[in-house]
Amino acid sequence: MTTIDTRARQAVKAMATLTYKPGKPIKDVQRRYKLSSVIKLASNENALGPSPKAVAALRKTTGQLHRYPDAACAELKAKLAKRLKVNASQIAVGNGSDELLVLALRAFVEPGDEVVVAEPTFLIYALQARASGAKVMRVPLNNLRYDLPLMRAVVSKHTKLVFIANPDNPTGSYVTKRELEEFLRGLPEQVVVVVDEAYYEFVDAKDYPQTVSYVNRAPVIVTRSFSKAYGLAGLRIGYCIARPSLIAALEAVREPFNVNRLAQDAAVAALDDRAFLERTRRMIRQGRAYLGLELAQLGLRVVPSVANFLLVELGPKASQAAQALLRRGVIVREMSAWKLDGFVRVTIGTMPENRRFIQALKEVVG
Amino acid sequence: MTTIDTRARQAVKAMATLTYKPGKPIKDVQRRYKLSSVIKLASNENALGPSPKAVAALRKTTGQLHRYPDAACAELKAKLAKRLKVNASQIAVGNGSDELLVLALRAFVEPGDEVVVAEPTFLIYALQARASGAKVMRVPLNNLRYDLPLMRAVVSKHTKLVFIANPDNPTGSYVTKRELEEFLRGLPEQVVVVVDEAYYEFVDAKDYPQTVSYVNRAPVIVTRSFSKAYGLAGLRIGYCIARPSLIAALEAVREPFNVNRLAQDAAVAALDDRAFLERTRRMIRQGRAYLGLELAQLGLRVVPSVANFLLVELGPKASQAAQALLRRGVIVREMSAWKLDGFVRVTIGTMPENRRFIQALKEVVG
């Protein structure tokens, strides 16, 4: 790791040791362990591949790649607005929903302002808040769930932004309608709440809040993704919904051509691919039940999940177990970067992938 | 335009009236003026389309779009490093070179720091510097060229970043090796200089500096683009070269999956498409000569350009002339947003496009 230049901002220089480590690519594991077949259950990707309608759409437009993308994402916004029953002025589109999180920090947070995050949770919140020079207030999970009453108690007159992942990653747990409403009630005037719903499409729970319905009443920004349910992680596209004045703040800091042309075309087509979305949801529901049962039979603790992945406790040897799974061609995510020692996160795959994971796990922990 | 939320940062709220207006899309002009054939010479895109090798490469990988892109852009960096004779640790890759400009601001500039830019020049420098809360020091062009001695005089102990477009957009003029070297000599310790070479591949001038050769001696970040010469504007991919410690600062603020998968694959393939690059350069050279001659015969002032566009003075009626060209199916860029009243910017197209522009212009100004 190269030392960060002395010319960098103080907050950036302090980041030297912090880097995000993505899931291991299939190719690397094949090469390293000389395996012909490797399955990746490490990055919560869609095991069914990308939406076929999306792929068909972008094959048509590859000849136009010399043209800049639509800076306004007008077609996608119009379609989302209709679908979500909001106005197009209530939507912003990002280079993945990751970018929208950064735009929120750039729009609302001055160096020294406080940003409230859970710990652990999606790592990008704290990483990017630190990069912005914010004071990051970390609120521990309670029994691997967001502790909203405690997060609410930490909100002060210096708080500008709160990040809530719902469902949460990497636990797969969720915040209920009642918990969220209590959190939002009487929030100080200057606070903006980002609710990250990257896994929204997988949730079946009845007490899961329809957060989009709050955006006109509360300073809430709801972010969503095409990476997971629609299988478009490689293209980078996400969106958010909020009141128009909050969207205008995000738009003021956004680069005009932040969303590439193919991602826009693919997302428009993916929204029509209801059959693919249903197949995906069915796969996740079935895989969640199967894996829950098998893991319970192995005597392993599994955090109840409403998302497309499971957080599984393997105990003190979790790290070695993940290595042993790698050698068997199964990539899962070690949780040490999240300080969740003893756990691994497993993305729900196709049934053959799930079975192969369970088989390999039995060899490893048996 | 919606009012920006009161919760936004002071610098962001002050931006309400500033928005970047892209070139008009072909479809909109077709619809508006009921035209079957429209040519767009407004956004400095490559009239030959995208690199065919790039398109072929990405058609192969559309099936893998459910996978996250390589967060490290390892293959592209390795290829660029070899080509440019630098180390991979001296390269960062962005969602277009636009993003690299923003990363430089986020890495080096605190609110209140000074950022030096020319006026007019590429609009994103000042827009994004303002969004960062920087104090933007605007240095007028001298005879439509960067006035580096004056910019150097404006650099103070509060200056953190200087943006130099070379070649410049929208003038097409360039800064010479001697001018740049004088500017860099004895620069205060804390200053970082971003040299934006988005149009690098089009330059033939002998006294144009090979700025990459300075990166080990001076705190210079050289940004380049695949949007122009390689025809990949729609995919969003650019890169920069600098000393490893400056790259490390950019990496610290970068989102891990900022560059989409198709853009990475296409860029790798485009670097091998030397035939396409040569065809593009030839087209620009020929078009530049042809348009220069024709415009001179019309008695119009043309700024000497080393890029793939020309800044043309049409006089007080430039705005109406641009409108009249639109009705004839020719989109050029009005320059009022740059405060260059009386000018239009014309992208050099294919020879049939160039001829159609000249024909339409004759009807309009004749």
Q: Which CATH class is domain B10-49+275-365?
A: alpha beta
Which of B20, B67, B249 has the CB atom closest to A4's CB atom? B249
Contact predicate A80/B250, CB 8 Å? no
What residues 99-158 of chain B have any CB closer than 8 A to a CB of chain A? 99, 102, 106-111, 124, 128, 131-133
| Tens digits of residue pLDDT in B41-77 | 999 999 989 999 999 888 888 888 999 999 999 999 9
Contact A108 B3 (CB under 8 A): no
pLDDT band at B82 (very low <50, low <70, confident <90, very high): very high
Contact B110 A111 (CB under 8 A): yes
- Percentage above 90 pLDDT, chain B: 90
Tokens encoding B243? 């000393």
| Tens digits of residue pLDDT in B165-219 | 999 999 999 999 999 999 999 999 999 999 999 999 999 999 999 999 999 999 9
Report pLDDT for B215.
Answer: 96
Which of A3, A7, A66 has the CB atom closest to B234's CB atom? A66
Any chain A CB within 8 A of the CB of B248?
yes
Pairing of strands B309-313, B343-347: antiparallel
Q: Which residues of B touch A234 (CB under 8 A)?
A: 64-69, 260-262
Any chain A CB within 8 A of the CB of B49?
yes
Q: Which residues of A touch B45 (CB under 8 A)?
A: 66-68
H runs (alpha helix) in chain B: 10-13, 26-33, 52-61, 74-84, 97-108, 123-131, 148-154, 177-184, 244-253, 261-270, 274-297, 318-327, 351-365
Which of B55, B63, B252 has the CB atom closest to A65's CB atom? B55
More confident residue, B56 or B117: B117
Contact predicate A251/B84, CB 8 Å? no
Q: Which CATH class is domain A52-273?
A: alpha beta
pTM exceeds 0.90: yes
Any chain B CB within 8 A of the CB of A65?
yes
Q: Which stretches in chain A have pLDDT values below 50?
A: none
CA-based nearest residue in chain B for residue A232: B66
Q: Which residues of B touch A158 (CB under 8 A)?
A: none
Which of B227, B257, B266 has the CB atom closest to A98's CB atom? B257
CB hemisphere CA count around A138 (13 angstroms): 12
Contact B67 A43 (CB under 8 A): yes
Contact A252 B131 (CB under 8 A): yes
Q: Where are the domains positioned within chain B?
A: 10-49+275-365, 52-273
Contact predicate A238/A223, CB 8 Å? yes
Contact predicate B131/B88, CB 8 Å? no
Position B15 pLDDT exceeds 90: no
CA-based nearest residue in chain B for residue A66: B231
